[in-house]
Each structure stands twice: as structure tokens, then as C-alpha cells.
């Protein structure tokens, strides 16, 4: 059945080919590019999906495909919902995942108001994930290309968001998509995929925090080892992430790693690589997608970060949208603030945000 679909266009090859596929399927497609760059980073965003060049590329592709194209200004919302979240997480000693937040709050969130205003039934993106609609319930699955699968970044979408979402590229591979782009003569066919956070120039998050927050907003403090010994002073907990090895002050005969960040006392805890190993943790703000809330322990697969291959774990639902995850094989660098996404085979069951355990060193 023909539907009117709002297509989020980033100016890249993926969303461009998505537009072609939707048209081939008979849908009425409207292209939209979100202007999300705030003024303090616009001059550094030329080659980003939030930059001026992206808008120009998306507009050219829309013209080639014969679909209308609009630009919507979401800069204020992006600043509030994504960038403020990004900076506040580092200030709290956690490592953020802004792509998840952007998908939930903007691409499949605020953008729906624009879709409704344009008379659209669905929102489509170029994500490599499969969304199946079964009557009143949606199922989120991994994309078939394991190197590109982005289902991890969509775990926090609610059922009402998934039911009005379309991701046609989930059943395809990247080479096949570029081949289609070449066959259509699209100028973005060989455009390089961004490997960075869209609003962080050069992927240097520390420099971004310095320019965005200012030095006075950094939480300076001390570095201790796991035995409680003072190691050195530091210029801000914002400069550290769990598992970090480079840039740690103080001499040591063995490599040191950041194993904990105590935001309450502005302390960074360092230790050996073995101290990074974790076999149990809790997640909060859990979003259960594929089934009703489990009422007992269930063995599933959990990814503790996007690049993680996944590992078997026993998941126990808890009160207040929390869950306990017991890993069958201990993993390194389970990082507070990152998402733990739960799978049953290729189906996303749900996920939540990794919580911090009690500090390893007393205040």
C-alpha cells in the first residue's frame, strides 16, 4: 500500500539510496534534512552530517530522485537534548552515547511533528537495521550486514516510534548500496562514511568540551590507585573514560588504566588491566521492545558497547525500569553511561544504560 514517507536525509549515500528504494516501492517520499549545528560549531561542520555541505548534498540528491526537500531547524533542540546530555554525562563521570539520544529524541522523536505537518505516515532513515511491523507491535532486528548493523543505536525507541519507522537498508550490504548509487549517477555514491560524532571536530571530544564548557566548568581533582595511594592531580574528570590508558600522569612499571571515575569526589581511579574485568552490573531506564517485561531470569546476549561482539548473560528484570546483567564470561571496561543492548539471536529484546557501582576507593 502506498504511504507518504518522511525521509531523513543526511547527504550521505545511505539515506540517498533509501529514498530511491522507497520510491521504487511506490511510496510518496518527502526529503527532510535537520539543521542541527549550533553557531559555535557551524564553521567546523562542513563535512559533517550536521553541516552545510550535507544540506547541499541532500538537496542535490532529492532533485535527482525527483522528491521534494525541506530543511528543518532543530539547532536549539539538538543543543538541549544531545549536546547538553553529552557534556553533562562527562561531567558526571560517565561516557555518553549521543547517537542513541539523537535517534530517540530527534530523528524518531521531534521530527514526527514535522512528518505529521507534511501528512506523512512514516519516518524513514538509512540505518542498517530491520524493523518489522506485526499488527500493533514492531520487532527490531539486526541488519544483515554485521559490519554495518546499527540496531544497537535504536534500542531506546518505543513501540509507537518503531511502528511508524522504516529502515529499508537493513536487508542490504554496503557494497550493494554503493552499486545502486553508482547506477543512479548520484554524486554521493563514493562519499566516505563518517566515523566520528557529528558535532565533535576531529573526533577530539576533549577539545570540544574545552571549547563548549570552558575550563572553569571542569571538575579538577586527584588520581588514586586501587589501593588508595595518591598518584597525581588531574585537570578534570571530563578528560577520562573507563579503560583509558593514554595520558595518565605518574610513572608506573606497568601500564595503568582508568578503572573508575568517582564524580562525587572528583577522583579518577587507576589500576591494572585485570581490574577492568567485570562479571555483573545493573542497567537503568530499561526499554523492553520485543516482549512484555520478563518476570524471571532469562539467558540472552548483551552488547556492552557498539563495537562489542556481544556475550551471553543472564538478565534479571528489577523494579523501577532496571535490570541486573550477569555475564557468563567476564568482560573488560563495562563503562557507566554506555548502553547495554540485549538480543535474542538477531532480535533486540531491549536495553538500558550501564550504572556505576560503588567507588573502589573510599572517599
Spans of all domains in the chain:
4-202, 218-271, 277-354
What value does the mean pLDDT take over residues 2-13? 94
Query: At the topology level of CATH, where does 218-271 sit?
Result: SH3 type barrels. (2.30.30)
Q: What is the CATH code of the structural domain delimited by 277-354?
A: 2.40.30.10
Per the CATH hierarchy, to which homologous superfamily does domain 4-202 belong? HUPs (3.40.50.620)
Tell me the per-residue pLDDT of 12-43, one tens digit each, with 9 for 90 and over. Answer: 999 999 999 999 999 999 999 998 875 544 44
Contacts of 53 (CB under 8 A, 6+ apart): 11, 46, 47
Q: What is the pLDDT of residue 358?
A: 66
Tell me the per-residue pLDDT of 205-220, one tens digit each, with 9 for 90 and over. Answer: 988 898 888 888 899 9
Residue 266 has pLDDT above 60, yes or no: yes
Which residues is 283 bridged to in the sheet? 323, 354
Q: How many CB atoms are closer than 10 A to CB 362?
A: 9
pLDDT bin (cut points 50, 70, 90) of residue 180 is very high
Backbone angles phi, psi at 266, to 5 degrees: 55, 40
Residue appearing with cell numbers 544483515: 144
Closest to 127 measured CA to CA, from 98, 101, 107: 107
CA 360 – CA 227 distance, rounded (Å): 9
What value does the mean pLDDT take over residues 329-348? 96
CA 196 – CA 208 distance, rounded (Å): 13
Tell me the per-residue pLDDT of 77-112, one tens digit each, with 9 for 90 and over. Answer: 999 999 999 999 999 999 999 999 999 999 999 999
What value does the mean pLDDT take over residues 256-275? 95
The three-state secondary structure class of 316 is strand
Residue 129 has pLDDT above 70, yes or no: yes
What value does the mean pLDDT take over residues 312-329? 95
pLDDT bin (cut points 50, 70, 90) of residue 45 is very low
What value does the mean pLDDT take over residues 313-328? 95
Q: What is the pLDDT of residue 293?
A: 63
Q: What is the pLDDT of residue 43?
A: 47
Instruction: Let me know if the fold of 218-271 is the same as that of 277-354.
Output: no
Residue 353 has pLDDT above 60, yes or no: yes
DSSP label of 12: S
Q: What is the pLDDT of residue 50?
A: 55
Residue 179 has pLDDT above 70, yes or no: yes
The beta strand positions in the chain, using DSSP E, are: 4-8, 28-35, 69-73, 122-124, 129-134, 137-142, 165-166, 221-225, 230-234, 257-262, 267-271, 277-288, 298-303, 311-318, 322-332, 339-344, 347-354
Closest to 325 measured CA to CA, from 286, 280, 277, 289: 280
Contacts of 199 (CB under 8 A, 6+ apart): 36, 37, 38, 41, 45, 48, 50, 78, 82, 83, 98, 208
Closest to 340 measured CA to CA, from 295, 287, 299: 287
Largest CA distance in the chain: 67
Taken as a whole, the chain contains a residue count of 363
Please list the active-site residues. 102, 198
CA 62 – CA 11 distance, rounded (Å): 9
CB 93 within 8 A of CB 356: yes
What value does the mean pLDDT take over residues 132-139? 92
CB 333 within 8 A of CB 90: no
Q: What is the pLDDT of residue 135?
A: 84
Residue 163 has pLDDT above 50, yes or no: yes
Residue 134 has pLDDT above 70, yes or no: yes
The mean predicted confidence, pLDDT, of the chain is 90
CA 219 – CA 233 distance, rounded (Å): 11
Amino acid at each position: 500500500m502506498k504511504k507518504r514517507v518522511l525521509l531523513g536525509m543526511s547527504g550521505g549515500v545511505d539515506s540517498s539510496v533509501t529514498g530511491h528504494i522507497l520510491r521504487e516501492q511506490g511510496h510518496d517520499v518527502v526529503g527532510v534534512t535537520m539543521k542541527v549545528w549550533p553557531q559555535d560549531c557551524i564553521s567546523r561542520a562542513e563535512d559533517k552530517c550536521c553541516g552545510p555541505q550535507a544540506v547541499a548534498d541532500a538537496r542535490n540528491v532529492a532533485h535527482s530522485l525527483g522528491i521534494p526537500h525541506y530543511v528543518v531547524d532543530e539547532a536549539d533542540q539538538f543543543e538541549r537534548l544531545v549536546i547538553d546530555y553529552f557534556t553533562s554525562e562527562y561531567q558526571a563521570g560517565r561516557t555518553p552515547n549521543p547517537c542513541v539520544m539523537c535517534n530517540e529524541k530527534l530523528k524518531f522523536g521531534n521530527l514526527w511533528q514535522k512528518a505529521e505537518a507534511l501528512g506523512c505516515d512514516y519516518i524513514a532513515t538509512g540505518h542498517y537495521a530491520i524493523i518489522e511491523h506485526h499488527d500493533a507491535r514492531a520487532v527490531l532486528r539486526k541488519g544483515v550486514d554485521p559490519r554495518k548493523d546499527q540496531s544497537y543505536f535504536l534500542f531506546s525507541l518505543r513501540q509507537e516510534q518503531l511502528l511508524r519507522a522504516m529502515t529499508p537498508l537493513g536487508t542490504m550490504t554496503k557494497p550493494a548500496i554503493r552499486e545502486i548509487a553508482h547506477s543512479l549517477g548520484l554524486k554521493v555514491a563514493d562519499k566516505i562514511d563518517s566515523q566520528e560524532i557529528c558535532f565533535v571536530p576531529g573526533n577530539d571530544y576533549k577539545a570540544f568540551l574545552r571549547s563548549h564548557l570552558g575550563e572553569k566548568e571542569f571538575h579538577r581533582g586527584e588520581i588514586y590507585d586501587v589501593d588508595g595511594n595518591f598518584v597525581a592531580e588531574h585537570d578534570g574528570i571530563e578528560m577520562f573514560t573507563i579503560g583509558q590508558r593514554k595520558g595518565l600522569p605518574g610513572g608506573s612499571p606497568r601500564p595503568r588504566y582508568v578503572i573508575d571515575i568517582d564524580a562525587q569526589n572528583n577522583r579518577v581511579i587507576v589500576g591494572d588491566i585485570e581490574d577492568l574485568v567485570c562479571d555483573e552490573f545493573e542497567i537503568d531506564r530499561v526499554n523492553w521492545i520485543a516482549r512484555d517485561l520478563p518476570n524471571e531470569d532469562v539467558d540472552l546476549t548483551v552488547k556492552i558497547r557498539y563495537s562489542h561482539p556481544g556475550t551471553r548473560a543472564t538478565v534479571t528484570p528489577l523494579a523501577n525500569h532496571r535490570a541486573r546483567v550477569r555475564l557468563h564470561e567476564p568482560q573488560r571496561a563495562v563503562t557507566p553511561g554506555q548502553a547495554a543492548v540485549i538480543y535474542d539471536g538477531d532480535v533486540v529484546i531491549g536495553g538500558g544504560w550501564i550504572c556505576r557501582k560503588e567507588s573502589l576507593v573510599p572517599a
